[in-house]
Amino acid sequence: MSAGIKKIAVAIVLAVAAWFGSGALGFPHVFQAMFVAYVALGLVVFLLLDAPPMKRLSGWTAVPALVGFYLVLSAIYIGGASSLPQYDPEIEKGKIEKVLKRRRALVMAEQGQVDALLERVKVLQDGSQTVMARLGRFAPAAAVTEAPEEQGALTVVERGAEVYDLYECYNCHKIGGKGSVKKRGPILDNIGSFLTVNDIKRKIFDPTYLYAEGFEKEHKKGRMPDKYKDLMTEEEVTTLATYLSTLKDPTAETPKPVFVKANVEHGFTVFGYVRDASGRALPGTEVHAMPQVKGGHGASGKTNEAGYYEIFLHMHNENAGATVEVSAQGVKKTFVADYDPSDTITRRQQSLDLTVAAPKG
Ligand code: HEC
């Protein structure tokens, strides 16, 4: 028996080493548990080596034993496998197809626009004003940018719910009691009572923007992924935010959002979209913002794939009420930054979209 105890001791040491070793290497907990399980399995095998030999079965008496052994093993495998999260490859494939279909359609639409632009350039070279007037009449036809085809099939809210599904927000959030097996993120059933469409958009594109009360730890650890601004089109984030803003169930335990206070007193954020006259997003466009005050510090930013930009301006309490000028490709707009200097909680920000000429070429 002492041999058995020795083996158990070795197994415990190995299990601890496997857990912390794999943890140090950055393996997720599931894998750590799996390595420990392997050690346990090894222990069982070694303990079995010490077990007294069984009576040898032969002839027909061996058949029920064999079948029984097979059934036990099958039960363990099937039970174990079905306790793990299930993925249906067909459903996953369907999701990918849905995302890609829209992307493809967008690219095609842009391709079409580029062709249309080239044609326009050709015609413009003729320099005829009458042609230009005619082009003006054609312009609306080129304005079909986002969400082509099957647009009529879904309402904005339905499409938003689909986007929620496609980007698998349900892995961490619950709506209508569905999703987030473990409590990873807040229930969203009442989020529409707290946040505007714009705030939700900002939270999705910048998870540091605000946090759900009671989720300070998760927020600090950056649990909500910071990848959506690189993945989502503007249509997707807008319909998603619109859908979420309709969720107003006061009985749901949606935690209140807390706007991040950091730097509120030193900064002002300008954000928005840059598009061309036909409404197409312009990625990679330089945007500049400048407070019109003595010694004011300007700042710049570039639009992302969705044409979205965000600029953090250094503005202090005494700059409240200052005019700020925002410009991109020579197009200028101004707004008044009227925040309450005594409010140190609410983020100081302004949404401002710009419409500029499409880049040449
Ligand atoms: C990996 C987990 C995870 C995923 C995936 C995730 N979130 Fe979150 N989300 C969180 C956590 C944790 C919080 C709470 C901490 C915080 O606010 O940063 C949160 C907070 C939020 C809030 C604020 C809720 C409140 O009550 O104030 C909104 C809105 C939100 N998420 C929307 C989304 C949307 C939309 C998606 C999908 C595009 C998404 N989240 C995907 C983990 C996640």
78 and 149 share one domain: no
247 and 333 share one domain: no
132 and 213 share one domain: no
Give the model's pLDDT for residue 9.
94
131 belongs to a structural domain = yes
> 204, 167, 156: which is closest to 310 by C-alpha?
204
Counting from 1 in the atom list of ligand 1, the atom nearest the Cα of 254 is 26
Domain edge (last residue) among 102, 124, 153: 153
275 and 344 share one domain: yes
Give the model's pLDDT for residue 107.
85
240 and 273 share one domain: no
Give the model's pLDDT for residue 121.
74
Domain edge (last residue) among 30, 60, 83: 83
143 and 161 share one domain: no
Give the model's pLDDT for residue 143.
43
Is the CB of 271 within 6 Å of ligand 1?
A: no
How many whole angstroms separate alpha carbon 202 and alpha carbon 218? Answer: 18
162 belongs to a structural domain = yes
Give the model's pLDDT for residue 297.
82
Counting from 1 in the atom list of ligand 1, the atom nearest the Cα of 212 is 27
166 and 252 share one domain: yes
181 belongs to a structural domain = yes
- As separate numbers, helices (DSSP H) first and strands (DSSP E) second, the chain gives 10, 10
Give the model's pLDDT for residue 342.
77
How many whole angstroms separate alpha carbon 167 and alpha carbon 95? Answer: 9
* Structural domain count, the chain: 4
> 351, 293, 360: which is closest to 330 by C-alpha?
360
Counting from 1 in the atom list of ligand 1, the atom nearest the Cα of 223 is 12
CATH, residue 312: 2.60.40.10
Domain edge (last residue) among 50, 67, 83: 83
Give the model's pLDDT for residue 11.
94
Strand, helix or coil for residue 287:
strand
How many whole angstroms separate alpha carbon 18 and alpha carbon 42? Answer: 13
3-state SS, one letter per residue, for 132-164: HHHHHHHHHHHCCCCCCCCHHHCCHHHHHHHHH
Is the CB of 224 within 6 Å of ligand 1?
A: yes
Q: Give me the sign of the Cα torsion angle 40, 45, 46, 52.
A: positive
Residue of 200, 224, 226, 256 best suited for mutating to test ligand 1, as the one with most atoms within 8 Å of CB? 224
Strand, helix or coil for residue 185:
coil
235 and 321 share one domain: no
Residue of 172, 182, 217, 232 best suited for mutating to test ligand 1, as the one with most atoms within 8 Å of CB? 172
Distance 161 CA to ligand 1 centre (A): 15
- Per the structure, the complete domain to which residue 290 belongs is given by 267-356
For 48-61, b/e burial (b = at least 16 CB within 10 A) is: eeeeeeeeeeeeee
Task: Output the residue whose Cα is nearest ligand 1's atom 16.
Answer: 211
- Rg for the chain, CA atoms, rounded: 30
246 and 323 share one domain: no
How many whole angstroms separate alpha carbon 159 and alpha carbon 152? Answer: 10
Cross-strand pairs, 310: 271
What angle (nearest 5°) sits at the alpha carbon of residue 169, between those of residues 260 and 194? 40
Question: pLDDT tens string for the chain (361 positions)?
Answer: 577 889 999 999 999 999 999 999 888 888 999 999 999 999 999 998 888 887 888 888 889 989 999 999 999 999 888 877 677 788 888 888 888 888 888 888 888 888 888 887 777 776 655 555 555 655 544 444 444 445 557 899 999 999 999 999 999 999 999 987 667 899 999 999 888 899 999 999 999 888 998 998 888 888 999 999 889 998 999 999 999 999 999 899 999 888 775 555 667 889 888 999 888 889 999 999 999 988 888 889 999 887 888 898 888 888 889 999 999 999 999 999 988 887 766 678 888 999 998 765 4
**Residue written as token pair 């490709």:** 329
361 belongs to a structural domain = no
How many whole angstroms separate alpha carbon 29 and alpha carbon 308? Answer: 36
68 and 105 share one domain: no
Give the model's pLDDT for residue 134.
58
Q: Residue 246 phi/psi, 5° resolution?
A: -85, -5
Distance 170 CA to ligand 1 centre (A): 9
Give the model's pLDDT for residue 129.
59
250 and 169 share one domain: yes
CATH, residue 228: 2.60.40.420
148 and 160 share one domain: no
Task: Output the residue whose Cα is nearest ligand 1's atom 42.
Answer: 224
**pTM of the full predicted structure?**
0.52
Is the CB of 203 within 6 Å of ligand 1?
A: yes
